Each structure stands twice: as structure tokens, then as C-alpha cells.
Amino acid sequence: MQPLRLGAAWYPEQWPESQWESDLQLMQDAHMNVVRIGEFAWSTLEPSEGHYELDWMARAIALAAKHHIAVVIGTPTDAPPAWLTAKYPDTLGMNADGRLREHGSRRQFNYASPRYRRLCASIVTQLARRFGHNPNVVGWQIGNEYTDESFDPATRALFQQFLREKYKTLEDLNRQWSTAYWSQTYSAWSQIPMENTGGNPGLLLDHKHFVTTTWRSFQRVQIDALRPLILPTQFITTNIGGLGWSDNWDHYAITADLDIASWDDYVGEGHLDAAKNAMLNDFARGWKRQNFWVMETEPGSVNWAPINNALWPGETRALAWQTIGHGADAVLYWQWRAALNGQEQYHGAIVGPDGKPLPIYAEIAQLGHDLELTRDALAGTSPRAEIAILHDYDSRWAIDFQPHTKDYDQEQVLLRFYAPLQRIAQSYGQAVDIVDPSTAPLDKYKLLVAPSLNVIDDALAARFLVYVQQGGHLLLGPRSGMKDEFNSLNQQRQPGPLVEALGGRVEQYYALDAPVVVKLEHPPSPVAMAGCTFTTATGASSASDCGPFDELVNPTHANATIWAEALTASARDARVVLRYDHDAGWLADQPAMIARVVGVGSIAYLGTLPDAALMSTLLNDAVRDAHVAASASGSNAVGINVEICERSVGSGADARRVVIVINHNVQGKWITLAGHLRDLLPGVDPSYRQDAHGQPITQFTLDTQGVAVLVPFSEQEPPER
């Protein structure tokens, strides 16, 4: 079992070797135990074609080992050297505007070029031969943040070949893309253009599939070069950029070929948006449905935001703990020390150009110390969830090609569902998974919520029907079930192949330029969760800090914004949950949400985006009806912007639980947790009581940006207070 790791991106090739030891000593002093090296070092590793200089890397790895620091080697294929570009200009990529990229930055290569892939395989093979059995190398990162595709003529021919393999005949392609529209009909494969914006929606979706397939095969070349030559214990990953949310290719497909997923978690301008970053970390955990690495995060600031402000003192540590709480098994800072020259001189670093600690060093060293104290407890644990949000790239792309309103930002829409669900789930010590509906084991979840599942083909609809028949609860959000797998409109209204099961459908959709009022059809059910009253430090009962439940005031009306679908319920047993108000124009008095029992489960469809209070009520009802956390013995109560992340391993009597509490607020917060727990970190002073029902609770104050990592008392070790 790999221990939790803390480290940084380290670029020994940029510094005199005489300075390496002091770098590594400072890392060791900060309790760091991993570095990533090499991912931009091609010109140092292969200064001229076929002439390899790997000894410096061997010495760097050996010196790191001396300081108990393991190494991840980044293959250097994101930054080809100048000799390569000059000798093989055919390896350069072309931008969508037809401009050939050139040397001087990075990522100038053409991801589809067979020659570039051969050159990558050569350098990677050399590295694998030399370091594949080095016991201090724990893993490999392929390239760096796959980004730019290419629009050159040779890649276009590959795209046409890709389409020929998929559709077999032009007749089929013409039919699926409805090319009679605007006389787009193709009579030869070579006529098909390659576009990434503004084109036929079927073509645009297939181009995204082609980009995914091409990056996947680019990656495959390196996996095949590495795997036969490296230890089975060395993992292979790539670091996913674009703040995790980028959609230039399908993250599920790319990570399917990797041993672990890793990503780069940056804040950029401003401060940590705790709910959004929680969501993005859960999103990253969903790519492979397992724990992941944060391969890069900022040591307090970046250089690429409009304003590169510093995070507050303590916020860098809180961010790291948040990622761990959501399933990170490693956190690496980018970067250890800024290069003296090059495009990123202003980026945050841990030591200065003088090689001495910057102010952030002490905070990262504190995090390192935290991890020393908690490493054993956290080893092998991961978040658990009974609720999943469904996300898939075909739906993402289909909506983004034609958003219909500039306000339909899918990350924000996802967050409107995620934030209340996460607060409900964490009150029971659970996480929320975000998974791909086509590949995730749906029956693992009691409740599935699909905010914008635009593409529902027959196969997926069949999976959903089995799921609900057998007792699962499916809540579809706006824009669901509009398209098929070719990005064609389904010939049934939304939700397409699920209309019959839902017993209703969307009559019409509307982009909203002003809010509309929606009303619950029936008085709201009472909030099912405990937590708004609890015993304070002084023993009094208090409802003053209901935290996440402040919003749960059981509203009967709400504003809905951005998108509104008018539904009808045709089946007699389909229930109207929400209705548009009387003066809502075309929407007046129409159902905004309907639900129906199917088998021993249910399907519901919510056609709009109500404000946070009503959304919380609707989702709380959905969680209750799905019997999420039915076996939980109590619930936690914390304030707004306080997170409880539970990681565990095993089940029943053998289960081992760790509870991570993070206060993202600028003031201290009073925390109540179900059960009796002790903190593994210094700094909090828990007291132990019983709630109004005689259940054990643990209470303490957590400072601003404070972190507590707690474990239950064992039976042999009862609380003293």
C-alpha cells in the first residue's frame, strides 16, 4: 500500500548540481517524500538526436533517495527540443486557424504525427531502460496536460479514416448527421471537413471522439514503451490540466488506460471556492472511481490569472487537506523553485531564486508534519458514497456546441445540484460521487442525479430502467434525454427513450432572460435531518449555527433561472412536484417537475434550476425518499463553508474511519460531530457529550482555515472528558 505523499515538481536540470542537495534537504525538513522530475527536460536528456545523457537524472534520483524522497518521472514529450523541430518540421501541429506552431514555447507538436510518436517512444524507452527498475522511482507521468489538437491535412485524413471505420458507409454518416441540411451531403470521405466549432453537431461530436481517440493512442505508444520495461509496482499516469473541468477530450476514456488518475488543482485568482473545489476533486475521483493524485497545486499563488493574489495564510494547507478529504493520496506543489528565466518566473514557488525558503515553506512543512501524524490512519482509506451525480462528455459537448443561452454554464449547473447534495451527504459522513453513467456500477448507489444528461441513447435508457426497476432512484435535471449518440435530436420529446417510464415529457424548453417563479405542488415535508439544534459548549441547545441547513427553511416558492422546461404528466400515477407560477408566460401553471414510481424505485424529471433554498428542499426529499444513510447512527452539524470528509476502509466491525474537518471560513466555527472522536493533529480541544437523543457527540471550535483529522475512539480507549 502506497503511503500518502507530499512533494513538488523539481527541475534539477535548471540548477547547478551543487545546489541539489540543499533543495532536497529542505524538502526532507518539510516532511516531503516525493518529487516529480523530467517532464520538460528533453533537450537535457537528448541534447542531439540519439545522443542520450541520463546520468544527471540517475544522480538526481539517487540523491533524492538519500533524503527518503521518491521520484515520479515525467516523460518529456510535452516540450520537444529545438533540434527535433528543426529536423522534422512535419512533427509540428497546426492550430484551427491554419497556423503552424513553432518552437519557443511548449506543446508545439502534432499529437497525431507518426514520426513524433516514434521519437517519443525512443526517448521514453531510454528512460524506461535506465530507470524502470530503480526502486526509488514510484511512477511515471506521460507528457503533461494533453491540450492542443492539430488541424493539419494529414490529421484531417486520419479523421476521415476514423469516420470511415465508425460509419462504414457514407450513406450511414449522411443519415446520422442529417447532411441533407444545408446541402452537406458527402459523396467521398475526403470531402469531410474537420471543425471544432460552428459545424454540423454530429461532426463536432465525432471530432471530439476523434480527439479523445488520438490522445489515447498517443498515450498508448508511451504506455507500450514503458510497461514491459518498468517494475509492476511503478504506476503510469498523466496529469490532467484545465482545472480538471476542461473538456477537450473524454477524461474517462483517457484515464481508463492508466493505473491512477492525477490532476492539477489550482485556485488562480481569488480564494478557494470550497464547494466548487470539493466538486472538482469528486469529479477527479470519478474518472477511475478510485483515489487519485493531485500532481500539481499552487504554493500560494500562480502567474496566469488576471490578478495573481496570494492565498490567505492557512488556505494552502486547507486546500491540500480538502483534496485529501475527497480522495487525494498525494499532493505535489508546482513548483519547488522558479527557473531564473523562462515564461513562468512569477509563479508561486516554495523556495526563492536564492534556494532559501519563502514564507509559504513553513505552512507546507506544517502540512508535511500533519501527514506524518495521520499517514497510518489514512493509508488505504477512501471516501464512500450512496449518492452519485451523473456526468458524461457527449452531453457536455452537445450542450456546449449549442448552449442556447450564454448563461448555461455546465460547471455552475452541476454545482447547483452538487453543493446541497454534498452538504446533505457529509452530514452522514458520506461523499458524493460524480461518475459516467455508461460505465459506473449504478446499482451501488441509492440515488442518481443527472443535471444535464443531454445524450441518452437506448442503451443508457435500458441501464436506467433496470436500475429503477430494482429500487434505484433517478432524478433527471434540465436538458436531459434530448439527443442520441450521434448528437441528433431524439424523435421523442425529452427525456427521449425514458418518456414512457417517466409517464410524462417535456413539451417545450425555454431559455430564460428573467427569473420565473416555481411553486411546490404540495406543502414541503419536514427537514429529515438532525442538526439544526444541538448542544453548545455551555450545554445549551442552540439553533444559531445550523450551517448547511440554514437554507432548508422549507420554501414553497422560488425563483428559477436560466432554463425552464414545461412538462406534462400523462400517466395517472405520475406526480407533479413543482409547477410554474400563474404569470409565467408560456410556462404558466405548467409542471416544472414530475416524478413517478417505477418498479421499486422511481424516476423524476426537474426541468428548471430553482434557487438554492428550493433546490436543497427538493434534493433533501430525494435523499430521504431514496433512504440514503438509513443506517447512519447520527448526523454531523457544522457551519457554512465547513467540510466534513470521511475516508474509510473495510466494513462492519473491521471498518477503519478517518474524519477530516476543514473550516474554510475567515472566522472560527463551532463543530458538532456524531460519535466520540479524537484528533490526530495538535490544535483542537474536543469535548465529549450526548445529544438530546442520548447519542454520543464530539464538539470543538475550529479556527479559520483550521483542519482537524479525527478517528473514533476504540472501545478499549473511552474518551476521558
Give catalytic residue positions. 145, 296
Half-sphere exposure of 565 (CA within 13 A, CB side): 25
Q: How far is CA 618 from the centre of its chain?
A: 24
| Contacts (Cβ under 8 Å, ≥6 apart) of 278 | 322, 326, 418, 422, 643
Residues 432/454, Cβ–Cβ less than 8 Å = no
Is residue 144 a contact residue for ligand GLA (CB under 6 A)? yes
Q: Which is nearer to ligand GLA, 152 or 296 (CB)?
A: 296
Distance separating alpha carbons of residues 159 and 207, to the nearest angstrom: 7
The least distance separating ligand GLA from the CB of residue 320, rounded to whole angstroms, comes to 16
Q: Which is nearer to ligand GLA, 337 or 347 (CB)?
A: 347
Report the phi/psi class of residue 107: left, alpha or beta, with left for phi > 0 and alpha for psi in -120 to 50: left
- Where in 315-374 is the site for ligand GLA (CB under 6 A)? 334, 344, 347
Which residue number places its CB atom closest to ligand GLA? 264
Nearest Cα to Cα of residue 11 among 494, 463, 340: 340
- Where in 220-279 is the site for ligand GLA (CB under 6 A)? 241, 264, 266
Is residue 177 a contact residue for ligand GLA (CB under 6 A)? no
The least distance separating ligand GLA from the CB of residue 146, rounded to whole angstroms, comes to 11
Q: Which is nearer to ligand GLA, 202 or 300 (CB)?
A: 300
Q: Would you call 307 helix, strand, or coil by DSSP?
A: coil
The least distance separating ligand GLA from the CB of residue 599, rounded to whole angstroms, comes to 46
- Where in 554-593 is the site for ligand GLA (CB under 6 A)? none
Which residues are registered as beta bridge partners of 235? 139
The least distance separating ligand GLA from the CB of residue 145, rounded to whole angstroms, comes to 5
Q: Which is nearer to ligand GLA, 145 or 433 (CB)?
A: 145
Nearest Cα to Cα of residue 285 among 418, 405, 409: 418
Q: Cell 432524478 identifies what position?
A: 475
Is residue 297 a contact residue for ligand GLA (CB under 6 A)? no
Q: Cell 514510484 identifies what position?
A: 138
Choose one: 49-57, 172-180, 296-304, 415-423; the region binding ligand GLA (CB under 6 A): 296-304
Q: Cell 466491525 identifies what position?
A: 653
Nearest Cα to Cα of residue 229 among 145, 365, 132: 132
Phi, psi of 368 (to 5 degrees): -60, -40
Of 152, 265, 296, 386, the one binding ligand GLA (CB under 6 A) is 296
Is residue 145 a contact residue for ligand GLA (CB under 6 A)? yes
If binding means CB under 6 A, how many residues of this protein chain bind ligand GLA? 11
Residues 46/56, Cβ–Cβ less than 8 Å = no
Distance separating alpha carbons of residues 271 and 263, to the nearest angstrom: 19
Q: Which is nearer to ligand GLA, 145 or 643 (CB)?
A: 145
Q: Would you call 131 helix, strand, or coil by DSSP?
A: helix
The least distance separating ligand GLA from the CB of residue 22, rounded to whole angstroms, comes to 23
Distance separating alpha carbons of residues 279 and 268, to the nearest angstrom: 17
The least distance separating ligand GLA from the CB of residue 27, rounded to whole angstroms, comes to 19
Q: Which is nearer to ligand GLA, 255 or 427 (CB)?
A: 255
Q: Would you call 513 helix, strand, or coil by DSSP?
A: coil
The least distance separating ligand GLA from the CB of residue 95, rounded to whole angstroms, comes to 19
The least distance separating ligand GLA from the CB of residue 294, rounded to whole angstroms, comes to 11
Half-sphere exposure of 717 (CA within 13 A, CB side): 7
β-pairing, 473-476 with 534-535? unpaired
Distance separating alpha carbons of residues 689 and 676, to the nearest angstrom: 8
The least distance separating ligand GLA from the CB of residue 295, rounded to whole angstroms, comes to 8
Half-sphere exposure of 111 (CA within 13 A, CB side): 28
Of 35, 302, 349, 564, the one binding ligand GLA (CB under 6 A) is 302
Distance separating alpha carbons of residues 184 and 174, to the nearest angstrom: 8
Q: Which is nearer to ligand GLA, 243 or 517 (CB)?
A: 243
Write each residue from 89 to 128 as x if it is in contact with ligand GLA (CB under 6 A), else as -, in one continuous string.
----------------------------------------
Q: Which is nearer to ligand GLA, 344 or 611 (CB)?
A: 344
Is residue 501 a contact residue for ligand GLA (CB under 6 A)? no
C-alpha cell at position 489: 435530436
Q: Which is nearer to ligand GLA, 79 or 603 (CB)?
A: 79
Binding site for ligand GLA (CB under 6 A): 144-145, 241, 264, 266, 296, 302, 304, 334, 344, 347
